[in-house]
Copies of this chain bind each other. A is one copy, B any other.
Amino acid sequence: MTAPGPAIAPEVGTELPPLSVRVTRADLVRYAGASGDFNPIHWSDRTAAAVGLPGVIAHGMLTMALAGRLVSNWVGDPGAIRSYGVRFTRPVVVPDDDEGALIEISGKVSALTDTGPGERIAKITITAAFEGKSVLGRAVAEVAVPPS
């Protein structure tokens, strides 16, 4: 489960292949059902407006999960991700149309630490942007990578 991906040879500064993920209202409804978080700010224009939001917004944990896909795609094994943390700095507003919201995800290796025989931990600093502005702050994942 925790075997690192076979093909990566990370160095400090290595950039991960960027990822664009489109989120639609239908995705939010699916996520509501999967997570049990049925807060109507994630599907009701009326409720979103009533609480002062610019529109229906994505679940923060969904945005976080999608941003984490950058790392699991790169390492090839979600089980290699040892830790993950973010700040929720700005909501992703999802319009009620077929396009939805586009989240642009990028990241790079910001540190590499030998943690034992045959294992290194890469610290990945992740950026997730919506309409050119960051939606997650201090987004960092630690992931097991092959030894150098």
Q: Which residues of A contact B (CB under 8 A)?
A: 1, 21, 27, 30-31, 33-37, 39, 41, 51-53, 57, 59-62, 64-66, 68-69, 72, 78-79, 81-88, 91, 137-138, 140
Contacts and interface: CB of A to CB of B under 8 A. Distances in A.
B83 A41 contact: no
Q: Which of A35, A37, A138 has the most CB of B within 10 A?
A: A35
6 contacts: A34-B34, A36-B69, A37-B65, A60-B81, A81-B88, A83-B87
A35 B30 CA distance: 9
Judged by DSSP, the binding face of A is mixed
A87 to B, nearest CB: 4
Given A35-B66, A65-B65, 15 more contacts: A1-B51, A21-B36, A31-B35, A33-B34, A34-B34, A35-B62, A37-B72, A41-B79, A64-B84, A82-B87, A83-B86, A83-B137, A84-B85, A84-B88, A85-B85
A86 B1 CA distance: 18
A111 to B, nearest CB: 16
Contacts of A81: 60, 88
Q: What 4 A-B pairs come out closest when comparing CB atoms?
A: A85-B85, A34-B34, A30-B34, A31-B34
